[in-house]
Amino acid sequence: MLTAHRLSKRFGATVALSDIDLEVEAGETVSVLGPSGSGKSTLLRVISGLEVPDAGSVLWNHADVTLLPAHARQFGLMFQDYALFPHRDVAGNVGFGLRMAGGSASEVEHRVAEVLELVGLSGMERRRINQLSGGEAQRVALARTLAPAPRLVMLDEPLGSLDRSLRERLIVELGEIFERVDSTVLYVTHDQEEAFTIADRVAVLRDGKLIQAATPEDLWAAPAGVFVSDFLGFSNRFAATAIDGQADLGWATVPVDVPDGPCQVVLRPDALIADETGKITVTVAGSVFRGDHYLARTTTESGSQLSISTPTRPHPGQRIRIRLDPAGILALTE
Ligand code: ADP
């Protein structure tokens, strides 16, 4: 089990990490999610031993490894650019760490074949690095990271440079690979969908602070505040005042589970249901195609903007009747 205990790190006036507490259980995949500059890479670098924290400690199974050199931690770190050696072939790259650790030629060869099989690249030992596709290079980098059987696998935006369809496929494969070898994984990304696909738990960072660490289901059900809610892509958010468990949005009064006073009401996509008998009427301003649905920008009768999902493309000016499902309504106070 990895424990990050009250980790802090500054670069001059920049606070990159502030009092971070985070645990990754054996066999668990935790995703560190946050926008650019939130401290994700710094957290990985401190945990991996490439950076020394100003305060706090890194523990593995309760033993303090904060000052242990990176190579002695038995942690594997895969960088976004893969950092493959261009002048070596696939086997030369994948077996690099094993040879450094003193493995015999036959041991290295056997393990290289094993991890290439794991990542779906059996028989690719002699392929040159510059002859690999983006997805293959990503798998070679993963195989190299997994080859020494690290007790913690860390990945920093491992799919960042690949196109969307490849990313969507590889993220599922990555999850399956981690499951097969029962890896303990820390996975850094700025992409909420990626984090939700791969992680057992997601840790949301903002300005070096850990805002919320929870399962994807719990984050979805109860984001800790406006920042997390916005980051999850919940675009329908309204400033309101809670009075006796209700908030008036100007075009609808909704139940809210917060004390009286100012709050932000978030209508998750599942809160808005097209229903011909619904009491709320919105007018379509425009729409975008989202593959399995359309996202319509609409205006309520009181002039509020509301995005709603529709199965067919609505035309501008069209009026749609909706109702609200209380299960998808969140009230946030911070
Ligand atoms: P992320 O990975 O979420 O994009 P980083 O951990 O790279 O965030 O950076 C967090 C903050 O620390 C940023 O403001 C960044 O500019 C700063 N930072 C990171 N590394 C250094 C460094 N070596 N020197 C100075 N500032 C740094």
Residue 16 alpha carbon to ligand 1 centre in Å? 6
Does residue 170 contact residue 159 with C-beta atoms inside 8 Å?
Answer: yes
Residue nearest to atom 12 of ligand 1 (CA): 16
156 Cα nearest atom in ligand 1: 2
pLDDT score for 144: 94
Ligand 1 atom closest to Cα of residue 34: 3
CA distances from 202 to 4, 71, 132, 237, 238 (A): 15, 27, 32, 22, 25
Read off the pLDDT of residues 231-247 as tens digits, 9 standing for 90 and up.
898 999 999 999 999 99
Can you tell me which atom of ligand 1 is nearest the CA of 35? Answer: 3
Regarding the beta carbon of 16 and ligand 1, being less than 6 Å apart is answered yes
Q: Is the CB of 189 under 6 A from ligand 1?
A: no
Which of 18, 42, 157, 191 should be mutated for ligand 1, with most atoms under 8 A from CB?
42
Averaged over successive runs of 10 residues, the pLDDT of the chain (334 residues) comes to 98 97 97 96 96 97 96 90 88 92 91 94 93 90 93 92 83 91 94 93 97 96 94 93 95 95 95 93 95 93 93 94 95 92
pLDDT on residue 125: 94
Q: Is the CB of 36 under 6 A from ligand 1?
A: yes
Q: Is 42 in the pocket of ligand 1 (CB under 6 A)?
A: yes
Residue ranges and CATH numbers for the domains of the chain are 2-223 (3.40.50.300), 234-332 (2.40.50.140)
For a substitution probing ligand 1, which of 7, 9, 10, 14 has the most ligand atoms within 8 Å of its CB?
A: 14
Looking at residue 161, what is its pLDDT? Answer: 72
pLDDT, one tens digit per residue, over 293-312 is: 999 999 999 999 999 999 89
pLDDT value for 81: 73
Cβ 277 under 6 angstroms from ligand 1: no
Could you tell me the distance, in angstroms and rounded to a whole number, from the CA of residue 87 to the centre of ligand 1?
Answer: 31
Atom of ligand 1 nearest to the CA of 41: 2
Amino acid 167: pLDDT: 87
Ligand 1 pocket, residue 183 CB under 6 Å: no
The pLDDT score that the predictor gives to residue 100 is 86
